[in-house]
Every structure is written in C-alpha cells, then in structure tokens.
Amino acid sequence: MMETAEFQQRTGDGPMRGRSKIVQVDNALTAFHAVPADRPGTALIALKAVVRQCEAYVQHKEGKGEGQRLAGVSELQQQAGDGQAKFRTLAAFNELVAEIDRLLERGANPDTDDRALAAAAQEVSRGIPPDDFHAMMEGQVRTLGALSGDPDLPAETRGIIGELMAAAQRVTRMQVPMNGMPGMKITAGEGDSAEFTFNVDAQARGGSSFLQGHLAHELTHVAAHQAFGSSPVMELVEAGATPEEVRALATERKQTLLELQQALRNDPAFNDFQESMLSEKLVYGAQPQKLEQYASGFARAGKITEEQRARLVAYGQAAGDASGALVEYDTVLNQMLVYLHRWGISQDNPFYVRLRAAAQAASDRRNQARSRRGAGPPAPDPAPDRAP
C-alpha cells in the first residue's frame, strides 16, 4: 500500500486538491495507515473504506479527462483490494466480534453501522485455517457451558445448557461453510451413534451473544435428534408419532409462539435490534412448508428414504401453516434463552417468564421421549473451563 504522500504525489498535489473529492480518498488512506499493527479487524474495515472511496471517485470522474489522477486512484484501489487478504485472520475475526459487542453495550444497532461489521466477520472467517476456526468454536462451546456457573442464570436455562453440553460431545467438526448453508448435519453413523458437523454462521451479527445463541440453536438439533430418535432431518417429533399427534403438537407450538410475539410487542426492555433478533426467531420457529422443504431436499441428496420423506411431508401437511414448528421450535426457544441472559434482561420480564416456561415444557418433552426410548437423561458433562 502506498503512503498518503506518495498517493498525493502521483495524483497531483496542487493547490486545488482540497476542493476535489479526492480528499476523501486521502482521508481514508491516512486513516488506514493510522491503524495500530495489532488491530487487523480495524485495518480490514479501513481498507474497505479506501476501496469504497476510490470507487466513488472513479465513478464521479470517469470520462472527465483526468487520466493521470484516475490511474493513481485505480492503482490504489487495486492495492487496497489485494491487501485485504492478509487481514483475514482469527485475530481479526475476534476483534470484529468484540466491536459488535461494544456497539450492543452502548445500545447501538450493528445492522445500521456503516462499517458492515457482520459482513466483514463472515468474510474474514473464510480465511481462517479450518483447525484454528474449529478450536475457536470449541472455546465458544466452553463459554456457553460456563454460563451454568453464573448464579444469575435461570434454572430452566441451566438445565438446558447441561443437555446441550452432552450433545456437544457428538459434534466432531465445526467449520465455515464455503458452499452449503449454515446448520447441523449428520456426517457419520446414525441414530444414537450419529456424529455431527456444525456449519457455522460466522457473520456474528449480534456479536458473541449471537455466536453462543447460534451454538445453542444447533446443539438443540443434536439433543432433540437423540431424544426423539428422529430422521437425519432432525424433526422435533418423537419417532412413531401419528399425524393427529403431530397436528396437536404443531398447534400448541404455534400458539406459544404467537403468545411470545404478543408479549414482545412494544416491550421497552428491548431495543430495536434486540426486538428484531427475537421477532425473527419467533417467525422462523413456525414457518409454513419448512419441514416439507427439508424433507424434499434431504431425499434428493439421498440422505433419507422415500418412506421417510413421505412421512415427513405428511407431518408437515398435518401441521398446516406451522410446519416449521416441527423442526425449529425447540431450537429457537433455547437460542432466545441465551440471548436474553447475555443481554441482561430481567427475569421478571413478561416475555422472559413466558419464554422460560415454554423452553422448560419443550425440555420436559425431550426428556420424556428419552425415557420412553430407554435412552435415559443426557449424559452428565464435567463443568467446562471458561474459554480464554
């Protein structure tokens, strides 16, 4: 990357420069060179700003006869684009997540921050060596498990985290999906001996609370699959359920999600970003056609039989417009439990009270299914050390 003085020399450092839009490029380049060497995430964001300002200048001046200046700006844009690769590191990812955390602590909305931190974190994650990324996520698992030692953690959440820590023993790989979608999938074995790979949504839109909520969501898929004896689609339905039982279950879950939506509406305890995050989960937990879509996709990939696909489609049809409640209900409840604890929401909050009750009822259903299957309760897991 050329220094600011060299760039100015190449692009005409005359007395009229201060009145040109090229000053915005100057400022972005100066800001990049001012970033300390131990701030790779900040450096990446600053480089992206250089690229944006170069693009804006070229667009503004193209065709206006400033060949020498445009050539210098284009050269800088190329350097800034090429230079981003060296900052796609684990340290940069952690720094970006920490910056999102700082925004949330101030009550700011990361979605409206013009630095696009979440998108940058996702981009950076793809450059982290796979073993390093897996190790980082192991630290996130330990951090999630360590919440059990927090005296302010609700009892319902503490029990569920114990269940999730047992499920985590089944996850053998945590990685950034390069082509596929985020989520949990079976990659070896079947039934109670299945092993799982976790494709992580590394955008970390809500910082570390997002990552830990995301982790709770996906580990719930594993725990529920083991509890219910379900197919590789990991439907939240006990093996052998009838369509009538499924219809009643979906109706109950849909009603609970509607009650939670009503409790959330206009609650001053949540800022706009938090309300948006929760509302998304409440809708996601009961979307129409979701189980049918999953079943068809898994069948096309050869991961379930035609008999399994037909049964799951029948379940989805029995659920009416709440098919998603048969595959994403327990998961979103546990995800939101982690969000609310990390956000420091009062346990007396009406939404939190209703959420804990719903999550406990779902946990009880999983434990009852384990008992009926003779699987017993989740295996106890040693209290994990807090991740550094």
User: pLDDT digits over 233-267, tens only?
Assistant: 999 999 999 999 999 999 999 999 999 999 999 99
Q: What is the mean pLDDT of residues 352-374?
A: 95
Q: What is the pTM of this model?
A: 0.90
Residue among 175, 197, 308, 314 at smallest CA distance from 244:
314
Residue 127 · residue 89 · CB < 8 Å: yes
| 380 has pLDDT over 90 | no
161 to 146, 153, 201, 310, 334: CA distances (angstroms): 9, 10, 20, 34, 9
% of the chain at pLDDT higher than 90: 86
| 305 has pLDDT over 60 | yes
Residue-averaged pLDDT of the chain = 93
In the structure encoding, which two tokens stand for residue 229, read together?
């004896």
Provide the phi-psi class of 251: left if phi over 0, else alpha when psi is between -120 and 50, else beta. alpha
| 377 has pLDDT over 80 | no
Residue 69 · residue 93 · CB < 8 Å: no
Q: How far apart are CA 318 and CA 316, in angstroms?
A: 5
Spatial CB neighbours of 293, under 8 Å, sequence gap ≥ 6: none
Give the distance, in angstroms, between the CA of residue 379 and the centroid of all CA atoms in the same chain: 27
Question: Hey, what amino acid is at 370?
Answer: R
Residue 16 · residue 85 · CB < 8 Å: no
Q: Which residue has the tokens 């209703």?
A: 354
Sign of CA dihedral 81, 85, 91, 93: positive
- pLDDT tens across 197-221, in order? 999 999 899 999 999 999 999 999 9
Residue among 28, 21, 20, 24 at smallest CA distance from 2:
28
